[in-house]
Structure 1
């Protein structure tokens, strides 16, 4: 696939890294020669220095033969204009734009991006995507990762095996025997920074980050089995009243009026603004690194403290301070990958990476075949994929024991209408079934082939 990416920042780099690894023909455009050189030196991609919305630059990047253009520059207007030019001049089939400003996404301007008025096929709003991720995590604070699939019938759950986990040193096959009515499949484990596909004889050890695919309705019970907190929090303290913090507070207000929400915001004008925007949230003006402010916010009694400022160091330190003050669960926003390995040793329960969230959303539209959902894990080492089985797929109409799955792939769930099937050797996938599985990065292309009907992608 020929893909043109406008923007060589963190997200642009991340998308280019994943797509180039899969032998796609990728060209990255950016006006900053330093960013262009960095991406050219590290990745097997072509690069062009220039304005991402200029026709001449887009032609130089190969837009005239491109299957897709992805606009992820720092500027919404450039991303939108790039998609318009790619559509009007080069007839690029699929156009994706990242749009940060909520001014464009307000419901009253809902027709702006309709098919009649805009050529943009997919709009990615980082604030909304990350905000929804935060809200989902808050609903089940015992998990460090939580993503819904198949209309939230199925969940990807990430659980850390800490020293209090009662099933450490237990073979995975024994878990099925101990909990025969529990619908969950351990599909992968992160151990010492490496993502491994598990087999039934694998033992869980302290420090493992376990990825499971489970019946969404059983996630709370699953967390309890791993010794995690299963109570939904009714007191949330948010550090940072930026776009993401404000979005999360509004969503919490709309979902559950009984949840006490407090926001700590350092800028006085911003604090006043968000106080006017919210109806049932207490806004405190001050620094999240001030112990007195944390105490005033009542973090000692908070079920969850989540730090969503635009500074990674502040987010980590504020989370550590909140935990020391007595917060039950802490989570923080981390824009950079370089700090993620520190999270367990700092005692922070979970982190949210905006880059990973945005890339996962975009990959859903890059993948060929009947791919319905994608979530990238551990900096692209693997993906959770939801796909629809076609009658022409080699997966259907025969027991799974007779199906040759690519190395690095593990099936987690089969959904047939409202019925959830835990896959085993005797399971038979039928056309129309939704299949949720884990695939290591090197196996993703082979998974796509299992669910393709033609050279078209959907």
Structure 2
């Protein structure tokens, strides 16, 4: 995880130092990335001093051990006066309300709960958001859920292909939607009113939450919400997703398939209504036992990309019109996703990086999400008094090339910038 975070931040122009205990990884980082790499223990004061922690603006601790991350943040804050610290915490027990005194205050760790990232919880939440909008490859909530950004892949049934975008308002006068960017042949670009959409494009639109269904229809996207869901993988992501479904979508039947017997037993203890099956999702009889023929959605979230891809392919083979979402970390597999019939790729690294970026992007920035495999970012920004765009029309704001304002939230009013 740290490798990809460092790579992304270095590409953004930040001065990055990486600490890792593995000599092999330190050499690899030094050879491949434009960062400084140091061998050592992340919570060792001497190692942090060698990394020039006293000059750092931010420390991000994302090792595989929660305890190391927490101690590293505490050492950085106490000994080196680093006020901005972010820790990866995987164990949900640390974040339970009854232990909230662990973080912040005079007796707790020197970081509040909003400085903690839990990749597994973030990924489960991202998958849940995607399931809320069937047919979308990406679904992001902004402005406290009142605004959505959707990623849509256009097919031949899309009625507005080869139509200038400026005509969308004429075609759908009561639909407030803005196409902000298009991904075509691996390139992401902002669009203008004269641009046209093509079959095969992935577009990123902004729309009011109450107009999502109409927006999907306008672009020829037809899909039914999930009713019968199979989750492959009973780890933190799978269990977290099941619990979100139990809490917010009580009408959905959820089954979890987990290969490891002990983990399956643990998962069964963590859910209320979901059914947990102990078995290998790559075996057809297990998928049939889970009801794959009648399921409408399969989400594969094991720790192995290959298993997630194969489980999705088997689901498409056995199920009729089933929607598949697969957790795929390796970038090399990304181009294969749509070719092999997987509907949505869940990229855990991009989701985690997005959660870290909100601590780096300052000046009124409330939320950050990367899109299109990190090629672009969606920002939610609170305009400050001195911002140079205040009291100006959007076309007079002098925005840099590639920057698009999709929506403005002013009190209770939501303005889609068409």
Does TM-score exceed 0.5, indicating one fold? Answer: yes
Q: How much does 1:237 deviate?
A: 0.8
Q: How many residues in Structure 1 have an aligned counterpart in Structure 2?
A: 414
Q: How much does 1:333 deviate?
A: 0.7
- Between the aligned partners of 1:54 and 1:361, the Cα distance in structure 2 is 26
Query: Are the aligned partners of 1:184 and 1:422 in contact in 2 as well (CA < 8 Å)?
Result: yes
- Between the aligned partners of 1:222 and 1:230, the Cα distance in structure 2 is 12
Which residue of 1 is the match for residue 82 of structure 2? 92
Query: Are the aligned partners of 1:154 and 1:216 in contact in 2 as well (CA < 8 Å)?
Result: yes
Which range is displaced more, 99-108 or 357-366?
A: 99-108
Query: Are the aligned partners of 2:206 and 2:416 in contact in 1 as well (CA < 8 Å)?
Result: no
Q: How much does 1:406 deviate?
A: 0.6
Q: Which of these residues, 207, 225, 236, is aligned with residue 229 of structure 2?
A: 236
Q: Which of these residues, 293, 296, 311, is aligned with residue 303 of structure 1?
A: 296
Q: How much does 1:360 deviate?
A: 0.2
Is it true that 1:367 corresponds to 2:358 in the alignment?
no
Which residue of 1 is the match for residue 41 of structure 2? 51
RMSD, matched Cα: 1.5
Residues 119-158 of structure 1: matches in 2 within 5 Å?
119-121=110-112, 122-158=115-151
Q: Which of these residues, 258, 275, 282, is aligned with residue 268 of structure 2?
A: 275
Query: Are the aligned partners of 1:319 and 1:331 in contact in 2 as well (CA < 8 Å)?
Result: yes
Which residue of 2 is the match for residue 182 of structure 1? 175
Q: How much does 1:392 deviate?
A: 1.0
Q: How much does 1:96 deviate?
A: 0.3
Residues 350-389 of structure 1: matches in 2 within 5 Å?
350-389=344-383
Q: How much does 1:291 deviate?
A: 1.5
- Between the aligned partners of 2:313 and 2:170, the Cα distance in structure 1 is 38
Which residue of 2 is the match for residue 407 of structure 1? 401
- Between the aligned partners of 1:408 and 1:200, the Cα distance in structure 2 is 14
Residues 37-76 of structure 1: matches in 2 within 5 Å?
37-76=27-66
- Between the aligned partners of 2:317 and 2:160, the Cα distance in structure 1 is 27
Q: Which of these residues, 101, 105, 109, is aligned with residue 99 of structure 2?
A: 109
Is it true that 1:394 corresponds to 2:388 in the alignment?
yes
Q: How much does 1:275 deviate?
A: 2.2
Which residue of 2 is the match for residue 324 of structure 1? 317
- Between the aligned partners of 1:174 and 1:328, the Cα distance in structure 2 is 34
Unaligned runs of 5+ in 2: none
Q: How much does 1:230 deviate?
A: 4.1
Question: SS state of the match for residue 4, structure 2?
Answer: helix
Unaligned runs of 5+ in 1: 1-10, 425-458
1:85-129: CA deviation from partner (whole Å, max 9, x where unpaired)? 101100101010001112322232222123331102400011111
Which residue of 2 is the match for residue 344 of structure 1? 338
Query: Are the aligned partners of 1:300 and 1:327 in contact in 2 as well (CA < 8 Å)?
Result: no
Query: Are the aligned partners of 1:221 and 1:230 in contact in 2 as well (CA < 8 Å)?
Result: no
Q: Which of these residues, 26, 43, 47, is aligned with residue 36 of structure 1?
A: 26
Q: How much does 1:256 deviate?
A: 2.6
Query: Are the aligned partners of 1:167 and 1:226 in contact in 2 as well (CA < 8 Å)?
Result: yes
Query: Are the aligned partners of 2:326 and 2:346 in contact in 1 as well (CA < 8 Å)?
Result: yes
Question: SS state of the match for residue 41, structure 2?
Answer: coil
Q: How much does 1:327 deviate?
A: 4.7
- Between the aligned partners of 1:231 and 1:101, the Cα distance in structure 2 is 34
- Between the aligned partners of 1:243 and 1:157, the Cα distance in structure 2 is 26
- Between the aligned partners of 1:115 and 1:15, the Cα distance in structure 2 is 29
Is it true that 1:253 corresponds to 2:243 in the alignment?
no
1:252-306: CA deviation from partner (whole Å, max 9, x where unpaired)? 1121322111111112222223223322112222111112221221222222111
Query: Are the aligned partners of 1:395 and 1:403 in contact in 2 as well (CA < 8 Å)?
Result: yes
Q: Which of these residues, 165, 187, 192, is aligned with residue 158 of structure 2?
A: 165
Which residue of 2 is the match for residue 118 of structure 1? 109
